[in-house]
Structure 1
Amino acid sequence: MPTLPAPLGYVICETPDLEENYQKIAIYMLNDQPTHVARQLLNGKWTSKLGQDEDIEHDTLEGLTGERYGQVAQVMKRKVGSRVGKST
């Protein structure tokens, strides 16, 4: 599985479990190509944008795995409120 670059201050983490003070994303890949990113909500559920207008919530990351999006290749996290290039 390829290692993906750390976007916008995210670092690789080991689990998709909810962690206080962290925002997590999950990157799906199919045929070694990124296909989708899901973001964890404060309640531990995940949100995904499917098409232009469809935002969905899902309890687990496995709900989107399959022929369209592939598998979760990497889960990443960043501290809540941290952003690259954010001025202080």
Structure 2
Amino acid sequence: MDIAAILIILVGVLITAGTVERKVDRVNRRTVRVERKLDLIIEHLGIETDTLGPGLDDVRALLRDGKKIPAIKAYREATGLGLKEAKDEVDRIESELR
């Protein structure tokens, strides 16, 4: 196989990987928006829930200790969200703790 064919295949793979990554990011952002809307509905109805769940209690503890960056990291590891989405959620959790 000559170099031109290898380069064409490599470019195709890179373009496909970039497209898939963008679609996954779009789905993650959409999921975060839906979760926020559900949280607003739950709040409006006055339903008491633990929004973090049992696996994320350490996020609250880190926030109470003033360790926001480690809290974001812990949230990302627990949920698999991206940096921006995790930061937004940790900011929301932090505002609930105040």
TM bucket, shorter chain: under 0.3
Report which of the two has the higher share of strand: 1
Higher RCO (CA-CA < 8 Å; seq separation 6+): 1
